[in-house]
């Protein structure tokens, strides 16, 4: 592997890892309960 390719791969892997570290806890605490709605007469 040449140096430029290795740095590019490691940089992309680092960004993906950092994104996962941020998005993981956010997704874990997201509210997944359905919105309660009332039927409406037309």
pLDDT tens, residue by residue, 3-42: 999 999 999 999 999 988 888 787 777 666 767 777 777 7
Distance CA 4, CA 23 (A): 28
Q: What is the pTM of this model?
A: 0.54
Q: What does the domain layout of the chain look like in residue ranges? A: 1-29
Q: Is 33 exposed, middle or buried (0-12, 13-18, 19+ CB in 10 A)?
A: exposed
User: What pLDDT is stored for residue 10 in this prediction?
Assistant: 92
Q: What angle do CA 25, 34, 30 make, to 5 degrees?
A: 10
pLDDT grade for 1, boundaries at 50, 70 and 90: low
């Amino acid at each position: 592997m040449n140096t430029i390719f290795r740095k590019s791969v490691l940089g992309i892997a680092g960004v993906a890892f950092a994104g996962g570290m941020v998005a993981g806890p956010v997704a874990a605490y997201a509210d997944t309960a359905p919105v309660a709605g009332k039927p409406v007469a037309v």
